[in-house]
């Protein structure tokens, strides 16, 4: 049966019309799904009983609770959700003083194959629907404490732009969750057409996975560089007006001896010149069989200091949930997968 | 790569170019995905129909350097392009597929003789290695230095093969990948 959860007001209105219900039933459904947070169509008590029964023939609300939670010593929690009969996704809940951030997944697996990422090692299984993305928020036990959502879990969000943008609409619309877009950040490795669409159709913050300012190095870490070159990504970013409240940040995992030199600092300053942005330095969390290793703490601090001295706002992101494999780049459900479908 | 669409505002997808640089006609290869937005109508295109195509982009290009070309499925496209550009003399092409019909362009690529290896997981045939291409690589001596390794195919093939090559001490700097998406 088709899920109602995750549908936009326009889609719910169309469903109402298609099922012989008054047009305003669409808005009533949105109210029940996103404001009153019901779990069953039968709970939509201001819709006529006959109408509810008609909806129940074809539709379900479509919520899926997590099947497992792991808790880190630092308070981070990793939730596991099933997807279909064989797929799994993970979401990381990260409490921090007066903030609580949920890192959501947008795909089962990932196609991008970045050398440093655990998700990429399981290949790509499928896109998540808007409802499946939002379910990670709705079904989270701590959902009422959430202050921020980041699309930085499994998958490349802008490889799934239709569903990601739909989920953002539900999250930010007045008829939906009415969250401020300033509480939401979407990360991308730089799929330019979808990035431009995201910038046009949403007001949420953008984070770009950069990891080195040199294209010849980047293509060895991130196969996407063979398709969309970094200088084109930066040019697309520079075309956008970042002087208002919308923020852009660049994610930079710091690898020892690879991208942590003064030459990298200088090139970062050069390519980001003119963009009001922040660089988030991220400690590398080693994954199996990787030839990469993280930089040492002194170099990390020096790197940050040099960027700040040169006028580029730079912070070091605290590593959270590393002991439960919930930290940046570690989400993976590969061990839970069947291996029958390989194409080679 | 090129971006192809059937209408100006319609869905667009990236495809690797499968023809050689000197050729007057550009070709791509695609699997028909019944649920896909583009490939079912692509299969119905007739000579004279209009499609919309971008300028070529990307940097997954061949070179004169000795290399292994490793592909799965339609990931053969860029290597067929390199082959037809005349870059195959010091290359070994390893192509993985599930069925014997998966070895697109094999009638041409067979000209690479013993440097053209087909690995098939579901069927057997003369001159075909039975098993995954990763098994072939695992069982074959591979040069550590002096060779580039170009990979093109599904994300799973690319990451599995890359991990295997790295485990064989091949520097990751010498592994260049192109992914489907």
Q: Within the 229-288 window of chain A, which residues sit less than 8 Å (CB to CB) from chain B?
A: 229
B148–chain A Cβ distance below 8 A for any pair: no
DSSP A214: -
Separation of alpha carbons A15 and A8, rounded Å: 11
pLDDT score for A329: 75
Considering chain B, what is the average pLDDT of its residues?
Answer: 94
Contact A319, A331 (CB under 8 A): no
Considering chain A, what is the average pLDDT of its residues?
Answer: 93
Q: pLDDT by residue (tens digit) across B50-92? A: 999 999 999 999 899 999 999 999 999 999 999 999 999 999 9
Mean pLDDT of B103-119: 97
Separation of alpha carbons B91 and B52, rounded Å: 34
Q: How many percent of chain B have pLDDT more than 70?
A: 100
Residue A86, pLDDT > 80, answer no
pLDDT score for B112: 97
Question: What is the distance of C-alpha A108 from the center of its chain?
Answer: 12
Q: Look at B155 and A224 and tell me if their CB atoms are within 8 Å.
A: no
pLDDT score for A123: 87
Of the candidate CATH numbers 3.30.470.30, 3.40.50.80, 3.40.190.10, 3.40.50.1970, the domain formed by B67-179 belongs to 3.40.50.80
pLDDT score for A344: 78
Is pLDDT larger for residue A333 or for residue A48?
A48
When scoring B37, B156, B162 by the number of chain A Cβ atoms within 10 A, the one with the most, hence best to mutate, is B156
pLDDT score for A338: 60
Q: How confident is the model at residue A227 (pLDDT cuts 50, 70, 90)?
A: very high
Q: Least CB-CB distance to A123: which of B60, B119, B155?
A: B155
Q: How confident is the model at residue A339 (pLDDT cuts 50, 70, 90)?
A: low
Mean pLDDT of B95-112: 96
Q: How confident is the model at residue B180 (pLDDT cuts 50, 70, 90)?
A: confident
Q: Least CB-CB distance to A342: which of B156, B163, B180?
A: B156
CA distances from A48 to A11, A21, A59, A136, A287 (A): 20, 9, 16, 30, 54
Residue B15, pLDDT > 90, answer yes
Separation of alpha carbons A96 and B95, rounded Å: 49
Separation of alpha carbons A59 and A53, rounded Å: 10
Q: pLDDT by residue (tens digit) across A105-129? A: 999 999 999 999 988 888 899 999 9
Q: Within the 184-203 window of chain A, which residues sit less than 8 Å (CB to CB) from chain B?
A: 191, 193
In terms of Cβ atoms closer than 10 Å to its own Cβ (0-12, 13-18, 19+), residue A31 is: middle
When scoring A161, A214, A344 by the number of chain B Cβ atoms within 10 A, the one with the most, hence best to mutate, is A344
B50–chain A Cβ distance below 8 A for any pair: no
Backbone CA torsion sign across B58, B63, B67, B72: positive
Q: Look at B155 and A291 and tell me if their CB atoms are within 8 Å.
A: no
pLDDT score for A289: 82
**A336, two tokens:** 């839970």
Q: pLDDT by residue (tens digit) across A290-306? A: 899 999 999 999 999 99
Q: Which of A336, A11, A36, A297 is nearest to A167 (CA)?
A: A11
- Measure CA of the first residue to CA of the last residue in chain B; give whole Å: 12
Q: How confident is the model at residue A341 (pLDDT cuts 50, 70, 90)?
A: low
Tell which phi-psi region holds residue B113, choosing left (phi > 0), alpha (psi between -120 and 50) or beta.
left
CA distances from B141 to A128, A320, B136, B144 (A): 41, 41, 10, 9
Q: Look at B163 and A229 and tell me if their CB atoms are within 8 Å.
A: no
Query: What amino acid positions of A are annotated as catalytic residues?
Result: 90, 328
Q: pLDDT by residue (tens digit) across A178-189? A: 999 999 999 999
Separation of alpha carbons A318 and A331, rounded Å: 17
Residue A336, pLDDT > 80, answer no
Residue A52, pLDDT > 70, answer yes
Q: pLDDT by residue (tens digit) across B18-42? A: 999 999 999 999 999 898 889 999 9
Separation of alpha carbons A103 and A82, rounded Å: 17
Q: Is the ipTM of this structure higher than 0.85?
A: yes
Q: Look at A220 and B172 and tell me if their CB atoms are within 8 Å.
A: yes
Q: Where are the alpha helices (DSSP H) in A153-287?
A: 161-172, 192-201, 215-221, 230-238, 262-271
pLDDT score for A212: 98
List of residues 6+ apart from A82 with CB closer than 8 A: A64, A67, A88
Q: Which domains does chain A have, with CATH numbers?
A: 2-60 (1.10.150.530), 68-336 (3.20.20.70)
Per-residue H/E/C for chain B: CEEEECCCCCCEEEECECCCCCCCCCCECCCCCCCCCCHHHHCCCCCCCCCEECCCCCCCCCCCCCEEEEEEHHHHHHHHHHHHHCCCCCEEEEEEECCHHHCCCHHHHHHHHHHEEEEECCCCCCCCEECCHHHHHHCCCCCCCCCEEEEEECHHHHHHHHHHHHHCCCCHHHEEEEECC
A324 C-beta neighbours (distance < 10 Å), count: 19
Q: How far is A195 from chain B (nearest CA, A)?
A: 15
Separation of alpha carbons A1 and A130, rounded Å: 16
Residues on chain A touching B15 (C-beta within 8 angstroms):
none
Give the nearest chain A residue to B152 (CA atoms). Answer: A223
pLDDT score for B181: 78
Strands A107-109, A124-127: pairing is antiparallel
pLDDT score for B138: 96
pLDDT score for B124: 95
Residues on chain A touching B36 (C-beta within 8 angstroms):
none
């Amino acid at each position: 049966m088709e899920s109602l959860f995750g549908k936009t007001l326009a889609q719910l209105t169309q469903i109402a019309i298609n099922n012989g219900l008054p047009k305003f039933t669409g808005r009533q459904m949105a109210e029940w799904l996103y404001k009153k947070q019901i779990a069953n169509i039968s709970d939509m008590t201001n819709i006529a009983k006959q109408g509810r029964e008609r909806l129940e023939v074809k539709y379900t609300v479509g919520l899926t609770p997590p099947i497992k939670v792991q808790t880190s010593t630092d308070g981070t929690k990793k939730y596991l959700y099933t997807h279909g009969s064989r797929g799994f996704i993970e979401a990381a809940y990260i409490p921090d003083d007066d903030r609580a951030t949920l890192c959501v997944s947008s795909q089962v697996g990932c196609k991008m194959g970045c050398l440093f990422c655990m998700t990429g090692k399981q290949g790509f299984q499928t896109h998540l629907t808007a409802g499946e993305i939002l379910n990670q928020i709705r079904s989270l036990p701590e959902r009422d404490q959430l202050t921020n959502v980041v699309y930085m879990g499994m998958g490349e969000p802008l490889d799934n732009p239709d569903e990601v943008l739909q989920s953002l609409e539900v999250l930010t619309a007045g008829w939906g969750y009415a969250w401020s877009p300033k509480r939401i950040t979407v990360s991308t490795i730089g799929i330019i057409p979808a990035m431009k669409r995201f910038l046009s159709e949403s007001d949420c913050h953008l984070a770009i996975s950069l990891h080195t300012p040199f294209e010849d190095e980047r293509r060895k870490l991130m196969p996407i560089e063979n398709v969309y070159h970094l200088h084109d990504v930066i040019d697309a970013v520079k075309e956008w007006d970042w002087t208002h409240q919308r923020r852009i940040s660049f994610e930079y995992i710091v690898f020892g001896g690879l991208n942590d030199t003064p030459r990298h600092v200088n090139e970062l300053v050069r390519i980001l010149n003119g963009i009001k942005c922040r660089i988030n330095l991220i400690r590398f969390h080693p994954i199996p069989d990787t030839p990469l290793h993280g930089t040492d703490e002194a170099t990390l601090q020096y790197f940050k200091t040099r960027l700040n001295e040169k006028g580029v706002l730079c912070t070091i992101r605290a590593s959270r949930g590393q002991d439960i494999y919930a930290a940046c780049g570690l989400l993976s459900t590969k061990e839970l997968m069947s291996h029958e479908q390989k194409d080679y | 790569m090129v971006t192809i669409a059937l209408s100006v505002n319609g869905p667009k997808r990236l495809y690797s170019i499968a023809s050689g640089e000197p050729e007057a006609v550009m070709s791509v290869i695609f699997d028909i995905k019944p649920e896909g937005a583009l490939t079912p109508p692509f299969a119905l295109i007739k000579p004279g129909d209009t499609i919309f195509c971008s300028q070529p982009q990307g940097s997954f290009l061949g070179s004169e350097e000795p290399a292994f070309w490793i592909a799965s499925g339609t990931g053969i496209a860029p290597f067929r392009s390199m082959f037809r550009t005349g870059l195959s003399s010091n290359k070994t092409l390893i192509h993985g597929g599930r069925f014997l019909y998966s070895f697109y362009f094999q009638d041409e690529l067979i000209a690479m003789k013993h440097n053209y290896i087909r690995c098939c997981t579901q069927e057997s045939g003369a001159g075909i290695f039975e098993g995954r291409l990763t098994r072939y690589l695992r069982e074959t001596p591979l040069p550590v230095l002096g060779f580039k390794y170009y990979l093109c195919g599904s994300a799973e093939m690319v990451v599995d093969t890359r991990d295997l090559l790295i485990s064989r001490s091949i520097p990751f700097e010498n592994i260049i990948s192109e992914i489907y998406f």
